[in-house]
Amino acid sequence: MDAPKAQGRRVDQKLRNLIQAKKGRSNMDYKKILAATAAVIGTVAMAEGIVSSSVVGYQTKTTVPGFNFLAPTFTPVDGSGNVNLQDIKLNSATAESWTDNLQILDDGGATVEAYVYASAEESGLDSDGWLNGDMELANVTIPYGAGILVDSANDSSVTFSGAVADADSEIQSVAGFNFTGNNSPVAINIQDIKLGSSAESWSDNLQILDEGGATIEAYVYATAEESGLDKDGWLNGDMELADITIQPGQGILIDIANEGTLITVPAAL
């Protein structure tokens, strides 16, 4: 399975300069970082499960040094649906100011927006958080269902908090790689992820990012009519319906042939 190709990427120039200066990276180094982002080299070490069984709660995921591909598992308690960037918290004891950064992948995965982390002590602002290119706490929301990359310097953790979404996430795909994940605080089965009627059998595929490594496991989509099996779904290398668990907050890539194919990931409620 070929690695996803880098598409048009946008990163705030001020922030890019800051990250380069603090991490000693050249322009070419930063291009390599974005290429690694697109190829998903380095992923997340999935760990703790949901720690609150109520509708409002939080969940902590461990991270490894480097890129961690995640999907936020809680939404704002006000019911607005999209995820507030500042609600995604780094462990203050292990986070690295001016180095750790978060990249938002849009629904189609074609755009990267980057925000650098700084403690209140380091930034002089009111609280720890994610800063934009003007060195202000960013007031940004992440589309429900979108994946994110957290670039971490240390073994650390990320905490999502808020309300458990009561509606499935639905993404209208682009042709090519779509970055999403299990944005529910409970595990789901790969067969719970559904494609719409414009899905392309034997072409559309889903890639699961392993825990803490660079390995990608791929599963191809086929309708029951095409596969001869009992239902539409994701097939493994033996051309059987795969029985794979996708952990809470785990990022996935879905490679879609036809633009506008509906991708649905179930909610917990």
Q: Are residues 103 and 173 part of one domain?
A: no
pLDDT at 56: 81
What DSSP assignment string belongs to 1-36? -PPPPP------HHHHHHHHHHHT--HHHHHHHHHH
Q: Are residues 182 and 118 part of one domain?
A: no
Q: Are residues 53 and 151 part of one domain?
A: yes
Cβ neighbours of residue 111 closer than 8 Å, sequence gap 6 or more: 8, 9, 10, 105
Domain presence at residue 7: no
Of 113, 147, 163, which one is at a domain's C-terminal end? 163
pLDDT at 231: 96
pLDDT at 19: 45
Walking along the chain (269 residues) 10 residues at a time, the average pLDDT comes out as 37 49 42 38 33 66 87 83 91 94 70 88 96 94 87 91 87 88 92 96 86 68 96 95 92 92 89
Output the pTM of the full model.
Answer: 0.75
Range of the domain at 210: 169-265
Counted domains in the chain: 2
Q: Are residues 242 and 225 part of one domain?
A: yes
Domain presence at residue 6: no
Q: Are residues 35 and 145 part of one domain?
A: yes
